[in-house]
Amino acid sequence: MCTSMQIKSLEGDVFWGRTMDFADSFFHPTNPKGGQQLPGKITSFPRGVKIPSQTPDWTTQYAATGVGVAGTFGLFDGVNEHGLAGDMQVLVEATTASQESLAERGLKGVFATEYVAYILTTCKTVADVRAAAAKTGILEDSAARGIPLHYAFVDETGAGVVLEPTDHGAFKIYDNVGAMTNSPEYGYHTTNLRNYVSLDTTNRGDGSKLGDYHVQPIEFGTGYGMFGLPGDYTSPSRFVRAMVVSRNLPPFHRAEGIQQLYNCFKTVMVPEGLGRDADNADRTDSTQYWAGFDLAKRTVVVQDSHYMTPTVKTVDPTVTEVTYQDLDKSFAPHVI
């Protein structure tokens, strides 16, 4: 389970983010009966460095930073020096293929876990991403541990794309309408959204008429314009909430962008304990961290679910090697 969404300020600056919902943790200890703690790090890529991938090596063209795992060359999410951001999420329908199968179709194979890093270090814009997706496919990847993945990208203009490798490792390409979650495939979510055309932000203070009978509203009709908004944590419901909430914000200035983005994500963050495996009650999907991106500033803000203090990192085009940095694990409240 994961969710991504984007919003735009009055000045036209784009803010985009994602929740990482998983049973394994990245920055805090977890119940060993339920999952493992991966060595999550803020990972930065320099320009002009050859990445020693298990696939054919690639050379970075642009600096990028985001969340990854120590000692690897993948990113779960990130942003580059041109304001292109993206993430990976689970999609059960995703496929992979062998190097030979992809080569027969004229496609370059890239590992699923390295695809976000590959795109962010070689593309400037969503138009570049679309062109790259038409020439690449997803290889069988032991590092993914059998977890099938799809991808969302957005650039600083607000253009977005969703890439789903559902054609024997090759991509189906969709316009990103502003949010992405998990299965089913993306076309399902945009169709399902049409079931909620009656939702609006207007309270029902006057009640309504049933023939000649006047129905008085409960509590002044507050919130009844959103009656029927799904509240569970399934992928289709999170997609609808993400779209409705992010598209109904009051106008805001760019200085408020990260705060407004975080407030949107409160509606889709999954508490621990609500998504337990049927065969292992100790294993529970929940929001492990939240990452918010200021695309204009090329900055990421990361907050782990167990540490309230956010860590802020801006892309540094002067770095000369791939670097790994720890998240701030302090809790620094303002006590009065």
Pair of tokens at residue 104 = 């027969």
Phi/psi at 142 (nearest 5 deg)?
Answer: -65, -30
For the CA atoms of 286, 91, 193, 160, what is the dihedral angle to 10 degrees?
Answer: 100
H/E stretch holding 14? strand 14-22
CA 161 from centre of chain: 12
For residue 225, give every residue at least 6 positions away whose Cβ sits within 8 Å of its Cβ, in sequence order, or none. Answer: 199, 200, 201, 202, 203, 204
On whether the CB atoms of residues 288 and 272 are closer than 8 A, the answer is: no
CA-based R_g, the chain, Å: 21
- Between CA 245 and CA 3 the distance in angstroms is 13
Beta strands at 299-304 and 286-294: parallel, antiparallel or unpaired? antiparallel
Please choose, from the candidates 96, 207, 205, the residue with its C-alpha nearest in 3D space to the C-alpha of residue 144.
96
For residue 16, give every residue at least 6 positions away whose Cβ sits within 8 Å of its Cβ, in sequence order, or none. Answer: 4, 5, 6, 7, 85, 154, 261, 292, 293, 295
Q: How confident is the model over 140-155, as pLDDT tens digits?
A: 877 667 789 999 999 9
**Average pLDDT in the chain:** 94
**pTM, to two decimals:** 0.94
- Between CA 163 and CA 89 the distance in angstroms is 11
On whether the CB atoms of residues 49 and 321 are closer than 8 A, the answer is: yes
pLDDT by residue for the chain (336 residues), tens only, comes to 899 999 999 999 999 999 999 998 899 888 777 788 899 999 999 999 999 876 778 899 999 999 999 999 999 999 999 999 999 999 999 999 999 999 999 999 999 999 999 999 999 999 999 999 999 999 987 766 778 999 999 999 999 999 999 999 999 999 999 999 999 999 999 999 999 999 999 888 888 889 999 999 899 889 899 999 999 999 999 999 999 999 999 999 999 999 999 999 999 999 988 888 898 888 889 999 999 999 999 999 999 999 888 999 999 999 999 999 999 888 878 788
For residue 120, give every residue at least 6 positions away whose Cβ sits within 8 Å of its Cβ, in sequence order, or none. Answer: 45, 62, 64, 66, 75, 78, 79, 80, 84, 85, 86
H/E stretch holding 12? none
H/E stretch holding 110? strand 108-111
Q: Which pLDDT belongs to residue 57? A: 81
Phi/psi at 77 (nearest 5 deg)?
Answer: -165, 160
- Between CA 239 and CA 91 the distance in angstroms is 14
Please choose, from the candidates 97, 98, 75, 96, the residue with its C-alpha nearest in 3D space to the C-alpha of residue 152.
75
| CB neighbour class for 255 (10 Å; exposed up to 12, middle 13-18, buried from 19) | exposed
Please choose, from the candidates 220, 218, 217, the residue with its C-alpha nearest in 3D space to the C-alpha of residue 207.
217
Q: How confident is the model over 295-335, as pLDDT tens digits?
A: 999 999 999 999 888 999 999 999 999 999 999 888 878 78
Q: Is 265 helix (H, G, I), strand (E, B) or coil?
A: helix
